[in-house]
Structure 1
Amino acid sequence: MTQTILYARVSTADQNLDHQRTQAEAAGFIIDEVVADHGVSGVSTKLAERAEGKRLFDKLRHGDVLVVRWVDRLGRDYKDVTDTIRLLMRRGVVVKTVINSMTFDGATTDPMQEAVRDALIAFMAATAQAQAETTKEAQKAGIAASKGDPRKYRGRKPSYDKDMLDAVVGMLALGKGTTEIARECGITRQAVLRIKADPVAAQATLERWI
């Protein structure tokens, strides 16, 4: 019997795992079980090395569906994320994201679909790593700026949150237009264009306000 498992991860004590399940259920997923890692960094710890990550690998079987909020829950290292998704697909596990409703399925044999799927995996994994690196740099800069006026350092507050940013990046990867993305995400075209021009800088701006 196949099952749908949500994998959730939070890296700090003040983050909330329940939010990730609520988001998944609101997106229409019927979750059979939640596997979650608390206080684990996606940068320094691979999924297979996390306590619950190991259990996740043991539980997943051919035909199962693995749901994650976004690929950054699996990890923030490009090679680790791409290797993990491809390993799961080889096992016959379908990986689905809550943000942008993406599906990574190893069952397809169409060369064009495979090329698009693999390009999306690579793009999303690279973005996750870039965002992680930007977060570290923003934190370092924040510490350095704390001796002065932090309000001057933070600049203008962005009109988007983390979920919106991930959604915009994912839609851009799918080739959607600026106007369509702005309408679906509820932000201005100018905000979408800024994210499109430099998604890493957009992440850095957001980090300064979290």
Structure 2
Amino acid sequence: MARIGYARVSTTDQDLETQINKLKAEGCEVVRSEKVSGASRDGRNELATVLDFLRPGDELVVTRLDRLGRSTRDVLNLIHECEQKGAVLTVLDPHVSTRGEMGQLVLTVLGMVAQMERRFIKERQREGIEKAKAAGVYQGSKPRIDRATICEMHAEGVGATAIAKAVGCSRMQVYRVLRASPAG
């Protein structure tokens, strides 16, 4: 029976150390961590590794439920996957586990709260952007692709693969830019 810790932060400038230290202090022999959004499971390779590694009697430990996921459905699916493997999930703050029926109920409610919190964050972000746009302050994100260079290279007869390599994007992005351009 192993205690496996999972730590996650959303952005690369956030620190994982506090979570990792708490998990180790709780007796987790293995701690996997990653810096990726919890909005979905996409790109969460360490979580996938932990789930693959779980065996009957093991315990997956997270510091808070929102470290596991921001969607109630996703959290419930993760709990179900743990149960299917004969493992339990323990959340340290607040301390609750899937060992008993009450723990399952509390985790479901906490999952709903995490999802609601994510909606509130997105709503505040949207309101802030709208306010900044109205004040003429919002610039939007920087363009990731040099559209002018793509169009110029295409006009010179350079193929999509060569353009993609030169600009540092995918061929599909090159095709999208060309379709959206007036000359497209």
TM-score interval, smaller chain: 0.5 to 0.7
**What secondary structure, in the 3-state scheme, does the structure 2 residue paired with 1:37 have?**
strand
User: What's the counterpart of residue 38 of structure 2?
Assistant: 42
Cα pair distance change 1:95/1:143, threshold 3 Å: same
Q: Report Cα offsets for 1:137-171 as digits up to 9, x if no partner.
A: 111222333466xxxxxxxxxxxxxxxxxxxxxxx
Quote the Cα distance in structure 2 between the aligned partners of 1:6 and 1:118: 19
1:1-210 equivalence runs, <5 A: 2-25=1-24, 28-38=25-35, 40-43=36-39, 45-46=40-41, 50-105=44-99, 113-114=100-101, 116-146=102-132
More helix by share: 1
> Kindly tell me: are residues 100 and 124 of structure 1, through their superposed partners in 2, closer, same or farther at Cα, counting changes over 3 Å?
same
Q: 1:99-147: CA deviations, max 9, x gaps?
A: 0211112xxxxxxx52x23321220110110011111111122233346
Residue 175 of structure 1 aligns with which residue? none
User: In the alignment, which residue of structure 2 is the partner of 1:172?
Assistant: none
The runs of at least 4 consecutive aligned structure 1 residues that moved more than 4 Å come to: none
Give TM-score scaled by structure 2 length.
0.66
- The offset of 1:14, in angstroms, is 1.8
The code of the aligned residue for 1:23 comes to K
Letter of the structure 2 residue corresponding to residue 56 of structure 1: V
| CA distance in 2: counterparts of 1:8 and 1:141, whole angstroms | 30
Secondary structure of the residue aligned to 2:94 is helix
Unaligned runs of 5+ in 1: 106-112, 149-210
Question: RMSD between aligned alpha carbons?
Answer: 1.9
How far is 1:77 from its partner?
Answer: 1.0
How many equivalent residue pairs? 134
Q: Among the aligned pairs, what percent are the same residue? A: 33
User: Which AA in structure 2 matches 1:118?
Assistant: Q
Question: Structure 2 counterpart of 1:101, which letter?
Answer: H
TM-superposed deviation, 1:84? 1.0
For the pair shown, which has the larger CA radius of gyration, 1 or 2? 2
Structure 2 counterpart of 1:5, which letter? I
